[in-house]
């Protein structure tokens, strides 16, 4: 483009979506766009939507309308909507929200510059949703702090969980090319990124689409050897493909975080089958046991109130929390998603029962999290500095806290370390979420 235009972006949903947003920003920057965080000064506004569950859809719709206001109140000439909601409900969005000028599905970013130029010249509204389920490779402009970055290692999902619409939106799982991953990590490390976080809908699927079992441990070993990778973290590992090779890597490699994120969703085998989850309760227990033997921090996610869940089955889940002693846990009440098998299942659970079970589960987990945090008091740990509170308290994370989802380490120091630097912090006190300490 001859004239430099300003583009503002709102990225919603998961960190995989954030990587897509950063890829779009990189593409636009290379086409002479200037990135701005001031929406009222943007000539082009892009909303990357989430379509995972009901509240995420509502947030996406509300955000689209909020950004549309800048056509009147700001200088916005084009409103672009992309992401999972756009892919799934393209025609409805185009019909119901005439302020949308360009609608892109997932993995359509290569078409973005030409679509913008066409819209500016002709005023034609465009809908591009022919996703071919291939990962679009391009230099990214990071929306995360410059010392931390997510690295996508796969696209789509083949698990076909009965509650999830992701395969309907993004297709079956396929691994990203290994060399492309290594090249991106090397490029990110050269920019000064110190923490590299591998993500996909199911990271332990990596390599399985080429036959055989996961090759995630081999990939992580190669990434860990790249100069400048101070921390390597992986999220979204499934218990049945989480093997001892992966956990040994976490336990033995200095720069691989001792942190395992396994979204189990439940422990009752009947419900796991109804959810169409890979693996069994025994796979989950084995995975937890292996992690504990290696002193690896455990995070999980849980669904309560899935269709047919009985009080006894829910109690089995509560009992398993006491058994497993997860360090971190995220939970949500089941939400029926359009066109998914679970939405049509009989024995849907009353909303009040779901809310009550969710409250009981989170109260139980809060007690466990507090004990797990308090057990760390007296340790001295390596902490990545991430910011500072208004009162001067410094904020950071150890290898046992992932960004966004977990608590933080709040500490004092004789002098203020720069964000992105590492310091040694002695842990002095703990609450349900955060731990306090000081630099010795």
Work out the mean pLDDT of the chain and round it to a whole number: 94
Is residue 113 situated within a structural domain?
A: yes
CA dist 406 and 329 (Å) reads: 9
Write the burial class of residue 317 (CB in 10 Å: 0-12 exposed, 13-18 middle, 19+ buried). buried
Those residues with Cβ within 8 angstroms of residue 439's Cβ, 6 or more apart along the chain or in another chain:
411, 412, 413, 414, 417, 423, 424, 425, 426
Answer yes or no: do 319 and 172 share one domain.
yes
pLDDT (tens digit per residue) in 345-397? 999 999 999 999 999 999 999 999 999 999 999 999 999 999 999 899 999 99
Of the three residues 374, 389, 416, the one that is the final residue of a domain is 374
Is residue 140 situated within a structural domain?
A: no
Looking at residue 393, which CATH number applies to its domain? 2.40.50.140
* HSE-CB for 354 with a 13 A CA cutoff: 18
The position carrying tokens 């509204």 is 125
Is residue 142 situated within a structural domain?
A: no
Is residue 143 situated within a structural domain?
A: no
Answer yes or no: do 92 and 189 share one domain.
no
Supply the range of the domain harboring residue 394. Answer: 380-439
Answer yes or no: do 166 and 76 share one domain.
no
CA dist 185 and 85 (Å) reads: 29
Phi, psi of 271 (to 5 degrees): -70, -35
- Mean pLDDT to the nearest integer, 196-204: 96
Q: Measured between alpha carbons, how far is residue 7 from residues 39, 84, 116, 359 in Å?
A: 8, 21, 11, 42
- Mean pLDDT to the nearest integer, 127-131: 82
The position carrying tokens 């235009």 is 5
Answer yes or no: do 114 and 204 share one domain.
no
Those residues with Cβ within 8 angstroms of residue 181's Cβ, 6 or more apart along the chain or in another chain:
151, 153, 219, 223
Is residue 295 situated within a structural domain?
A: yes
Answer yes or no: do 307 and 392 share one domain.
no
Answer yes or no: do 47 and 99 share one domain.
yes
Q: Are 168 and 339 in contact (CB under 8 A)?
A: yes
Answer yes or no: do 36 and 157 share one domain.
no
Is residue 300 situated within a structural domain?
A: yes
pLDDT (tens digit per residue) in 256-315? 999 999 999 999 999 999 999 988 999 999 999 999 999 999 999 999 999 999 999 999
Q: Per DSSP, what are the bridge partners of residue 439?
A: 425
Q: Are 229 and 190 in contact (CB under 8 A)?
A: no
Answer yes or no: do 298 and 356 share one domain.
yes
**How wide is the angle at C-alpha 223 spanned by C-alphas 222 and 226, nearest 5°?**
95
- What pLDDT does residue 131 have? 64
Answer yes or no: do 396 and 365 share one domain.
no
What is the number of helices (H) and of strands (E) in the chain? 14, 19
135 pLDDT more than 80: no
CA dist 85 and 58 (Å) reads: 10
Answer yes or no: do 219 and 362 share one domain.
yes
CA dist 221 and 218 (Å) reads: 5
* HSE-CB for 264 with a 13 A CA cutoff: 25
Q: How many domains does the chain have?
A: 3
Looking at residue 74, which CATH number applies to its domain? 3.40.50.12160
Element (H, E) at 299: strand 297-304
Burial 288-316 (b: 16+ CB within 10 A, else e): bebbeeeebbbbbbbbbbbbebeeebbeb
Is residue 43 situated within a structural domain?
A: yes
Answer yes or no: do 167 and 198 share one domain.
yes
pLDDT (tens digit per residue) in 421-436? 999 999 999 999 999 9
Of the three residues 326, 359, 374, the one that is the final residue of a domain is 374
pLDDT (tens digit per residue) in 37-88? 999 999 999 999 998 778 889 999 999 999 999 999 889 999 999 999 999 9
pTM of the model as a whole: 0.93
Answer yes or no: do 105 and 153 share one domain.
no
- Mean pLDDT to the nearest integer, 108-117: 91
Looking at residue 172, which CATH number applies to its domain? 3.80.30.20
Is residue 225 situated within a structural domain?
A: yes
């Amino acid at each position: 483009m001859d004239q430099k235009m300003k583009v503002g972006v709102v990225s919603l949903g998961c960190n995989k979506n954030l990587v897509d947003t950063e890829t779009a920003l990189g593409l636009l920057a290379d086409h002479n766009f200037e990135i701005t965080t001031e929406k009222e000064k943007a000539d082009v506004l892009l909303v990357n939507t989430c379509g995972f569950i009901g509240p995420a859809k509502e947030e996406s719709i509300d955000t689209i309308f909020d950004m549309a206001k800048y056509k009147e109140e700001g200088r916005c000439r084009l409103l672009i909507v992309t992401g999972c909601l756009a892919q799934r409900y393209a025609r409805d969005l185009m019909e119901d929200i005439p302020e949308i000028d360009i609608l892109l599905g997932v993995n359509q970013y290569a078409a973005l510059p030409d679509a913008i130029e066409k819209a500016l010249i002709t005023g034609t509204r465009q809908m591009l949703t022919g996703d071919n389920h291939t990962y679009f490779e391009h230099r990214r402009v990071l929306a995360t702090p410059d010392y931390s970055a997510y690295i996508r290692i796969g696209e789509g999902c083949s698990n076909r969980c009965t509650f999830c619409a992701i395969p309907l939106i993004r297709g079956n799982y396929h691994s990203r090319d290994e060399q492309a991953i290594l090249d991106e990590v090397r490029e990110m490390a050269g920019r000064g990124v110190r923490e590299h976080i591998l993500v996909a809908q199911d990271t332990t699927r990596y390599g399985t689409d080429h036959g055989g079992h996961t090759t995630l441990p081999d990939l992580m070993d190669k990434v860990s050897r790249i100069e400048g990778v101070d921390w390597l973290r992986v999220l979204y590992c499934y218990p049945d493909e989480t093997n001892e090779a992966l956990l040994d890597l976490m336990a033995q490699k200095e720069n691989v975080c001792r942190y395992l994120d396994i979204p189990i969703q439940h422990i009752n085998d009947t419900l796991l089958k109804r959810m169409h989850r890979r693996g069994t309760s025994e796979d989950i227990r084995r995975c937890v046991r292996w992690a504990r033997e290696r002193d690896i921090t455990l995070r999980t996610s849980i669904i309560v109130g899935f269709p047919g869940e009985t009080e006894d089955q829910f109690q089995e889940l509560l009992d398993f929390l006491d058994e497993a002693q997860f360090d971190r846990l995220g939970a949500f009440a089941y939400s029926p998603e359009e066109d998914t098998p679970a939405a049509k299942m009989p024995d849907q659970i009353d909303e009040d029962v779901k809310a009550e079970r969710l409250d009981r589960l989170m109260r139980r987990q809060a007690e466990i999290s507090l004990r797990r945090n308090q057990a760390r008091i007296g340790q001295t740990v390596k902490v990545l500095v991430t910011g500072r509170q208004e009162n001067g308290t410094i904020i950071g994370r150890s290898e046992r806290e992932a960004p966004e989802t977990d608590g933080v380490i709040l500490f004092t120091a004789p002098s203020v370390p720069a964000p992105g630097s590492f310091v040694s912090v002695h842990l002095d006190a703990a609450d349900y979420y955060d731990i306090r300490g000081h630099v010795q």
